[in-house]
């Protein structure tokens, strides 16, 4: 990052570099994109203006996200495992997704929670279950899981909240794995908060990668102005970008990630 800050660049590229730094885009990714713009500038005999260079940056950021967009819950998915550290907004996000699936796609939804270490977490999910009128099962051991799946067999979609407690707790990791009976039609989502540091998000994803993660959900986009960490995480981990949440309101504050919007957030609205 220090090298990137110190590097001499042609003037229009300096302001783009500063924008990437402000947005906390990693030095590696920034260098990668800037090199392409520098090369184009050189090839043009230094004729490209700042608008054209902005467009080159945007093209790259957009291509990067387009390759990694994963959409929401797939129509044939039956079980969704939701993992992530405590406090990122997992329970709230599960309630938002449940409402989306119930009201927009008319699917019969059920909840399973294994987050029995915190009574408040179970109660919180139970509250959403009763508001949304969806059945909920609590599991404490792999045997319970079989029973819970049996009880919820009429549901089209089961959302399973996993114990977030402490992602460093290896015991929990193996315990969770024993709960995961990976079937063909399951998806595993990692929930991360945009209020975390970029390096911490990558470390959390490293720990949770034991669960064969498919997609990532970013919460609390309303609480930050820097969106580079989304790009950094997707650069470091082979995950598909799914939902984003932008507030505490259930069910409204849920969005499907969209590459144009993310490029606007990262680079400013530079579309002509
Ligand atoms: P969990 O421990 O991961 O299950 O997290 P919770 O669902 O209990 O959420 C923790 C806090 O974050 C609650 O106060 C939520 O209202 C809040 N929260 C969740 N999503 C968002 C969001 O998108 N934006 C903001 N500002 N707050 C959120």
Residue 3, pLDDT score: 82
- Ligand 1 centre distance from Cα of residue 120 (Å): 13
User: How many other CB atoms are found less than 10 A from the CB of residue 109?
Assistant: 24
Question: What tens-digit pLDDT sequence spans the chain (272 residues)?
Answer: 778 888 888 888 999 999 999 999 999 999 999 999 999 999 999 899 999 999 999 999 999 999 999 999 999 998 898 988 888 999 999 999 999 999 999 999 999 888 777 778 889 999 999 999 999 998 877 677 778 888 998 999 999 887 655 544 455 455 555 655 555 588 989 999 999 999 999 999 998 887 788 999 999 999 999 999 999 999 999 999 999 999 999 999 999 999 999 999 999 865 54
Q: State which of 115, 248, 251 you would mutate to test the pocket of ligand 1, scoring each by most atoms of that ligand within 8 A of its C-beta.
A: 248
- What pLDDT is recorded for position 236? 97
How far does residue 90's CA lie from ligand 1's centre (Å)?
7
Query: What integer pLDDT is reported at residue 169 of this predicted model?
Result: 46
Q: Cα separation of 267 and 31, whole Å? A: 15
**Of all protein residues, whose CA lies closest to atom 2 belonging to ligand 1?**
87
pTM: 0.93
Write down the pLDDT at residue 70.
97
State the pairing for strand pair 240-245/254-256.
antiparallel
Structure tokens at 221: 């986009």
* Nearest alpha carbon, ligand 1 atom 20: 89
Q: 264: CA distance to ligand 1 center in Å? A: 25
Q: Which of 85, 86, 87, 92 should be mutated for ligand 1, with most atoms under 8 A from CB?
A: 92
CA of 63 from ligand 1 middle (Å) equals 30
Ligand 1 pocket (Cβ < 6 Å) reads 86-92, 124, 164, 219-220, 222-223, 245-248, 253
pLDDT at 163: 65
Predicted confidence at residue 184, as pLDDT, reads 55
Work out the number of other CB atoms within 10 angstroms of the CB of residue 28: 12
C-alpha 1 – ligand 1 centre gap (Å) = 31
CA separation for the pair 140, 158 (Å, rounded): 17
Note whether 82 and 213 are within 8 A (CB). Answer: no
- 54 CA to centre of ligand 1 in angstroms: 35
Nearest to 248 by CA among 228, 219, 270, 269: 219
**Nearby residues of 74 by Cβ (< 8 Å), 6 or more positions away:** 187
The strand ranges marked E within the chain are 79-83, 109-113, 136-138, 157-161, 186-193, 215-219, 240-245, 254-256
- Would the CA dihedral through 92, 96, 102, 108 be positive or negative? negative
What is the Rg, in whole angstroms, of the alpha carbon atoms belonging to the chain? 21
The pLDDT score that the predictor gives to residue 211 is 77
């Amino acid at each position: 990052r220090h090298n990137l800050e110190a590097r001499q660049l042609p003037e229009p590229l300096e302001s783009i570099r500063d924008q990437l730094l402000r947005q906390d885009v990693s030095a590696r990714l920034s260098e990668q994109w800037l090199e392409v713009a520098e090369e184009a500038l050189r090839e043009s005999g230094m004729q490209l203006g700042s608008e054209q260079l902005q467009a080159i940056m945007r093209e790259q950021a957009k291509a990067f996200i387009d390759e990694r967009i994963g959409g929401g819950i797939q129509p044939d998915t039956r079980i969704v495992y939701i993992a992530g550290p405590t406090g990122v907004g997992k329970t709230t996000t599960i309630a938002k997704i449940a409402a989306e699936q119930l009201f927009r796609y008319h699917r019969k939804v059920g909840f399973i929670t294994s987050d029995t270490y915190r009574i408040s977490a179970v109660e919180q999910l139970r509250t959403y279950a009763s508001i949304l009128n969806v059945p909920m099962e609590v599991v404490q051991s792999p045997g319970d899981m079989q029973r819970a799946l049996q009880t919820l067999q009429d549901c089209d979609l089961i959302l399973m909240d996993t114990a977030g407690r402490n992602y460093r707790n290896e015991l929990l990791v193996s315990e969770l794995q024993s709960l995961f009976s990976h079937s063909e039609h399951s998806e595993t989502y990692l929930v991360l908060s945009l209020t975390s540091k970029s390096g911490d998000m990558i470390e959390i994803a490293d720990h949770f990668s034991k669960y064969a993660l498919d997609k990532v959900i970013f919460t609390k986009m309303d609480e930050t102005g820097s969106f580079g960490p989304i790009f950094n995480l997707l650069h470091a981990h082979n995950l598909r970008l799914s939902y984003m949440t932008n507030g505490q309101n259930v069910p409204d504050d849920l969005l499907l990630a969209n590459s144009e919007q993310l490029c606007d957030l990262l680079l400013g609205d530079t579309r002509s």
